[in-house]
A and B are shown apart, each in its own frame.
Chain A
Amino acid sequence: MSDKVNLGVLERQVSYSGEGISVRSLEDSIATEREAQNGKVEELKVLRERNVEIQKALADEVGKLRKFSDYLDGTATTGGFWAGFKEMLSYIPGLRNIAISKRSIEELLKQQYQISARRVKEAAEYVDTLKKSEQDLYKEIERINGKIIEMAKNEAVAVDYVLELKQLVDAIEQEKQTCEAGSVAFRDLEAKQDKARALLAQHSANLQLYSAAEDRYASLKDNTRKLVETIRNLGQDISQYTTAASIKLDMASAQIQAIGTAADASVVMLELKRSLDVMTESMNATTQFVSDTQVFFRRNLDSLVKELETFDETTTKLLDANIAESRKIEDERVAAAVAKAQAHKRSQSGTPAPTPGAS
């Protein structure tokens, strides 16, 4: 046998790193990786939806807070303060149908502030969850990279061995030409060639599997990298938004309280006004009554006076009789008094009492 036929190739132990490969094991491995990736995609989907929800709620709530402040400082009251005030109250859950004097606006605004602050915190918490997810995916990429390198190395081993086997098959073919067909040497070569072909088939399949695996892992890695990028961007978006919202809330806390107190003071003033209105109403009614009465007397005084003069005849007679009787009694009293006085004077001067009938 010539030196060209290196039969040592057939005996060489070719070792691939890892667990060995088959179509089944490759599919299983890729499926496992895909599952992990799908899990992250699903997680991302939930996070994204939740984030959209939170950001929308947050935007609404911060908007409401802004609107409260605009209405109360008078910059948004196209329909007048009252219309604005009522519209503002309609934003507050449960307040739409409640009389304004019942609830404290300051308290409601502070509750709204706390809800908003909680939303910001919830959203901000997702930033860390996303960062953790991002790190998990980087770790996954690292693992996939390890697989890709392993597959590439195994592919190289397979390539070398397949080439050597091919070379051996060709060399045996040439060697067979130098032997008599059907001879022992020929049959021996043929047996070696079959063995080489079998190994060639096996390692060619390995070569294809490792090559396919490398490509598929590389493609998985690309997708994972895109996922990481998406998660990172989402995290950055949420981070920017929550930082801005958080600063806004931190800066607005004193304003919220001032606005609430002002609104409550307005309600107290409205109550006072209502009370004053009632008082004014009473005063007006009384004044109106006095005024009406006065006008009535002014208009009717003459006739009232006239009416006072129009006593009926019987009453007039009775009055005349009373007066006549009174005068008579009075005259008698006077006469008695005069007589008494004259008697007294005489007794003092010693003058005798006049005889009855003397002048």
Chain B
Amino acid sequence: MSELVALHTQALREPVASRYLEGLGRALAASRINKSFPERRPLESTLQALRADSHEGLYESIYVDSRAGLPNLASFTRVLSDREVGLDAVGRMGSAEELAARQHEAEVFERLGRKRRYFELLRPLELAPVDQHRVLLRRHEPEQSRASFRVELTKLLSDGCYVRVVIELLQRASLWSHKLVQLDAAGEVAEGTEALRGMVYRFAAYDAETLFVRLHELEGVTVERVQRGVIGPALWAFSDGAEQHQVAEPGQDVLARAWTRQLAEPLPPGLQLVVSFASDTAAIDVRDELSNDPLSPLLSSSLTEQERARYRVLRERHAFKVFKDRKFVVSDALRPVVEGVCAAAGTKNLIYALPR
């Protein structure tokens, strides 16, 4: 069993770690996620860099968030800092030929050789960021004193999932406006203010509509769209013959409960995996308010009568609609579990097979 070693932190030792990472990489490739999710390739590169065949045994284990089932902050940071440090360190190590020639002299030369190859492998990779803010100017109308922006935040959430928040907003310049985005002198390059960064960052874990309302209430700001794409949680398990390894704290939602029940049965050989890819949009151009997410109903359906009345008033003030969806990548044996959860919720979800 891959044990918990710290708060929500599970240590996966090799070769279990590489097997898990390889499976997760396959799931990611099968997910067909679009631009509302964190970028797939950098995340794949991070998963690849964490594997033993990349670092050639320099590390014994990786750390995984025991709730989300994804590599955690320590693991994301490991490859990022290795790449940064590696850029300088390679110059001090000596050439690959020199290290190869001396590898029988002492253990350090053999290890330096492996490390050098690992650093060289990391150098060209675009790795998944822990956090990344970007502000893109969509349209600038100086004569109208307004501009439209696209704000993007990629963030490793504290619940262990990996999210991308995309906001499209229009800002009018006025005396009382909160300046959320600043343009350079030429009016071509946009940069988010700290107030915007802070607000988007803090609200990244909340529903799209919460962030929509929060931003929309600011004077001078019109929000057109808030979109969130969340990778995770990933429920995984496999047996290496001697013992069973699995996500340690899968949570209590409907899917997690169904998953836990399923684990009581003998597992078929190979990695058993269910990875969620949830999207959540609050936008003025969404036609019908709907949740096709079996794990996340619309906010209005989970409110008490008194709260609902207040919520109605709030929604009347803001002309947007919400659409939620979730797709899955599953191993064959777990497809019935996910299908059962979707059927019970009355949703029709895309369920992709985990490639072999």
Contact = CB atoms under 8 A, between A and B. Distances in A.
Interface of A: 98, 101-104, 106-107, 110-111, 113-114, 117-118, 120-122, 125, 128-129, 131-132, 134-135, 138-139, 249-258, 260-261, 264, 267-268
A257 B73 contact: yes
Contacts, number: 108
Contact of A253 (B77, B80, B109, B131): B77
Given A113-B77, A117-B77, A253-B77, A98 B158 contact: no
B106 A98 contact: no
Contacts of A118: 81, 84-85
B201 A107 contact: yes
Contact of B158 (A101, A106, A111, A138): A106
Contact of A128 (B78, B81, B115, B202): B115
Query: Closest 5 interchain pairs by CB?
Result: A253-B73, A257-B158, A104-B201, A131-B108, A253-B74
Given A103-B198, A104-B202, A114-B80, A132 B109 contact: yes
B158 A253 contact: no
Contacts of A267: 202
Contacts of A250: 6, 9, 63, 74
B303 interface: no
A250 B71 CA distance: 12
A129 B92 contact: yes
A113 B202 CA distance: 18
A255 B158 contact: no
Given A98-B194, A260-B158, A114 B7 contact: no
A104 to B, nearest CB: 4
Contacts of B74: 117, 249-250, 253
Nearest to A262: B158
B106 A135 contact: yes
A117 B78 CA distance: 8
Nearest to B5: A251
A268 B210 CA distance: 13
A261 B158 contact: yes
Contacts of A101: 195, 198
A110 to B, nearest CB: 6
B130 interface: yes
B198 A110 contact: no
A268 B214 CA distance: 11
A59 B89 CA distance: 22
B112 interface: yes
Given A253-B63, A254-B72, A258-B158, A110 B130 contact: yes
Nearest to B61: A250
Given A121-B82, A253-B9, A257-B73, A104 B108 contact: no
Given A135-B106, A267-B202, A128 B8 contact: no
A122 B85 contact: yes
A110 B81 CA distance: 13
29 contacts: A98-B194, A101-B195, A101-B198, A102-B195, A103-B194, A103-B197, A104-B201, A106-B158, A107-B197, A107-B201, A117-B81, A122-B85, A128-B93, A128-B111, A128-B112, A132-B109, A134-B108, A135-B102, A135-B106, A250-B74, A252-B6, A253-B63, A253-B73, A254-B6, A254-B65, A254-B73, A257-B158, A258-B158, A264-B202
